[in-house]
Chains A and B, each alone.
Chain A
Amino acid sequence: MRIALFITCVNDLAFPATGIAVTRILRRLGHTVDFPADQTCCGQMHANTGYRAEAMPMVRNYVDVFDSYDAIVAPSGSCTAMIRDQYPRLHAPATSVAARTYELSELLVDVLGVTDVGAEFPETVTYHPTCHGLRMLRLGDRPLTLLRQVRGIQLVELGDAEECCGFGGTFALKNPDVSTAMLTDKCARVRDTGARVLAAADNSCLAHIGGGLDRHRSGVRAVHYAEILAETGATS
């Protein structure tokens, strides 16, 4: 199977560790991963902010770059949701490649049939199901199924887990007061758990929640769950 990694623009620039983690997990499972260098951005920010015309060149570029792969994996629930939910409506030729684009937990659990990726992570972790993964992709408990198999992990349940953190892309900038009010409540629920690590499937939401946790020097670290699945306990 030819698997391509769609890193996403935010991860490429600010969170390369997540892409490195995805690469390591898949290689450890014996798969070959390609990184087509011509990839850019899925266009979600443009499309969802009201600039659909400006998003279209990115949509077409995605089809050109990824159409030849059997499976494309993206370590982001919202970028994957953009591709799977919006692409077929925006650009008919994208329908097929959109259906072959998976969020990491979908690729691992549904396509590759793996739930134990051989990870070890001796930490207290709570998991926030980000909205587009939860309600658009219907990831369900796939990410948690993967995390439960991690050696040494102590998973603690997050209160009001399914409530949005208040990021919402440009919402965080356009509606800073409401966004901050939602963030405050999400951070409070995270701290209620006593976990030292907050995991999620989207680094954009994590930049928002983690940015709030850091601002208050909470000592809680926000990481993409791929980075937990990549840990083996061995010093790399």
Chain B
Amino acid sequence: MSHPVAPATGGGRIRTPLPFPTAAKPAVADTQLRANLHRATRTIRAKRARVVDEVPDWEALRDAGSAIKADVQRRLPELLEQFEASVTAAGATVHWARDAAEACRIVVELTRATGADEVVKVKSMATQEIELNEALEAAGIAAYETDLAELIVQLGEDTPSHILVPAIHYNRAQIREIFERRMADAPSDLSDEPAALAEAARAHLRRRFLSARVAVSGANFAVADTGTLVVVESEGNGRMCLTLPETLISVVGVEKLLPTFTDLEVFLQLLPRSSTGERMNPYTSMWTGVTPGDGPQDVHVVLVDNGRSAVLADPVGRPALSCIRCSACLNVCPVYERAGGHAYGSVYPGPIGAILSPQLTGVADNASLPYASTLCGACYDVCPVKINIPEILVHLRQQAPHPPAERATMRVLSWVMRSPRRWAAALRLARAGAGPLGAYRERRTGARTLRRLPWPASAWTRSRDVPLPAPQTFREWWGKQ
């Protein structure tokens, strides 16, 4: 295969099948979903705020995290080669995947080579992105999610709706219902107490851990100078997967690199406080290739591009690759809270998804996502690596294909507003044209507002009255002074 001139865009579950406003409509109307999201996002949001506020040098940590990631992006090819050399020297095998399909093919072949027909999985966004479970299933290999929330989503034959809490859209009654329906070994008297649900999942998963010969993981960080991979988790399922099976295959996006082991000092402070709102996460697993006689003896790393080089090529959009998948931006986003994760149609929902998915696929393939934001800026304020999400959203909107009628309207408005003379005339015309209507409405209703306008302005008046021009414009008042 020859190298394409422009970096290729990515495949997998990163494209919206429906425009965001269309996909959001049923979500906004779903009473249960709204209640679940409202409670869950506000709970995590408050926890995060508490543990971040207690760190005196939080802003310095954010600056450091941002600077390290910017450095990685500047030196990515060099650092990737350094990582490959380090981890290879430590006994692992590195595989390079240009896109989702190639990454899936590599994992399927590696699994087949072991003779196994099942794998246990550590929660991983990269494998969700490349739709690995589907690829394994198509190859006759069963993939078992072992993170509790991923297990719920998998049993429910659903897709994740949050980066950190994939089953955030379910409450415990719904989870019990999924377990009763889909988990063959669930106790018959299962209650919806969180402890009972967790215990059922624990018993179910324990059998999988003990029989699995192959595990598939992602990685939160890949350290270039030592060849170390890092997985940060809460439940211990990851530790089981990373230590018990003979073969370990880790699928890692190329942007996950850190230059040195000491850089982890910054990120292991930023990540847990930003994601789960904990001072420290319960399990941090680090492994460097193969340790003879201890843990997996057949260790593979699949480094995935899948559109990341295209993101890297855009200096304004590039900081999206700094994301450490903490989900803080989702939890503070008022749009995410109402629309939920599925409306974004990608494994990456919320504000980060709105800038990452369109860049991975090319903006034309996810044209509605950069507009799925009010630009309120709450995401930028909480981002542990200071990704200026609103700035990148506005940047991507410039590349989005615009509806012809909107483009025509915007051009006419620009033509009017660029000329002081035309703008003054337009103001006079609008004021005079709407004058009689405004006076009539004021007599009838006491306010110069309208309740109903025809399409497309009906999008406004469906839920809001609209003000009419005032009896005199400001400049007319000024002129009379």
Contact = CB atoms under 8 A, between A and B. Distances in A.
Interface in A175-219: 175-184, 207-208, 210-212, 214-215
A149 interface: no
A20 B476 CA distance: 11
Interface stretch (A4-12, A66-74, A116-124, A151-159): A4-12
A211 B474 contact: no
B295 interface: no
A37 B374 contact: no
Interface string B399-425: 110100011001101100111100110
Contacts of A49: 397, 406, 410
Interface in B59-106: none
Interface stretch (A99-107, A128-136, A140-148): A128-136
A191 to B, nearest CB: 16
Interface stretch (B161-169, B218-226, B465-473): B465-473
Interface of A: 7, 9, 11-17, 19-20, 23, 35, 37-41, 43, 45-52, 54-55, 57-58, 61, 65, 86, 131-132, 134-136, 162-164, 166-184, 207-208, 210-212, 214-215
Contact of A172 (B377, B381, B460): B460
B417 A9 contact: yes
15 contacts: A16-B472, A45-B413, A46-B414, A49-B406, A52-B398, A57-B414, A132-B377, A162-B378, A163-B378, A169-B374, A172-B464, A175-B371, A176-B459, A176-B463, A180-B462
B375 A40 contact: no
Contacts of A214: 447, 449, 464-465
A212 B397 contact: no
Contacts of B417: 9, 40-41, 43, 57-58
A16 B473 contact: yes
A173 B460 contact: yes
Given A57-B418, A173-B460, A177-B28, A164 B478 contact: no
Interface stretch (B119-127, B132-140, B197-205, B332-340): B332-340
Interface stretch (B18-26, B107-115, B230-238, B317-325): B18-26
Given A41-B423, A52-B398, A135-B380, A168 B375 contact: yes
B418 A38 contact: no
A176 B474 CA distance: 30
Candidate in B20, B34, B411, B467 with the most chain A CB atoms within 10 angstroms: B467
Candidate in A164, A183, A208 with the most chain B CB atoms within 10 angstroms: A164
B20 A164 contact: no
B398 A50 contact: yes
A16 B477 contact: yes
A117 to B, nearest CB: 20
A215 B463 contact: yes
B42 to A, nearest CB: 9
A131 B451 contact: no
A54 B416 CA distance: 11
Contacts of B175: none
Given A48-B394, A55-B414, A37 B21 contact: no
The 10 closest A-B pairs by CB, nearest first: A168-B374, A211-B464, A57-B418, A50-B397, A164-B376, A54-B414, A135-B377, A16-B474, A38-B420, A131-B376
B410 A12 contact: no
Nearest to B367: A50
A13 B414 contact: no
Contacts of A162: 378
B347 interface: no
Contact of A212 (B24, B370, B464): B464
Nearest to B469: A13
Contacts of A23: 478
A164 B334 contact: yes
B40 interface: no
B208 interface: no
Given A16-B474, A57-B414, A181-B338, A164 B378 contact: yes
Nearest to B379: A135
B338 to A, nearest CB: 4
A74 to B, nearest CB: 12
B451 A215 contact: yes
Nearest to B451: A215
A37 B467 contact: no
Contact of B371 (A37, A132, A135, A171): A171
Nearest to B333: A164
Interface in B410-447: 410-411, 413-414, 417-420, 423-424, 427, 430-431, 447
B364 to A, nearest CB: 13
Given A47-B394, A50-B398, A176-B21, A40 B420 contact: yes
B410 A46 contact: yes
Given A132-B377, A136-B377, A211-B467, A48 B447 contact: no
A99 to B, nearest CB: 19
Given A13-B431, A211-B464, A48 B470 contact: no
A15 B449 contact: no
B243 interface: no
B420 A61 contact: yes
